[in-house]
Amino acid sequence: MTQLELTKPQRTAAIASLQRYFEEELSEPIGDLKAGLLLNYIVEEIGPVIYNQAIADAQARLSARVSDLNGELFADEFQYWPRADARRRKR
């Protein structure tokens, strides 16, 4: 599996979010270094769980769509004459 990586803006926003969470929910300030280390832990330890679930969800959705290809894309065959006969009856 590919290691999960955050872009620099994502990492900055995640650290700021962790700091805000600690301040507002736990009344405990957390510095940049500690928030960054916590983020590293979460991404490395818990990130794969979320990633794997997302992959499983995507696979299930794709499987459902693929299994219903006949329903989604089926085209009736040899319809020229039935349609032509129906048009003639309308006249």
Lookup: tokens for 69:
């290809």
Pairwise CA distance, residues 70 & 16, whole Å: 48
Tens digit of pLDDT for each residue in 7-43? 999 999 999 999 999 999 999 999 999 999 999 999 9
Q: What percent of the chain has pLDDT over 90?
A: 78
**Domain boundary assignment for the chain:** 8-90
* Entry pTM: 0.68
Contacts of 36 (CB under 8 A, 6+ apart): 11, 15
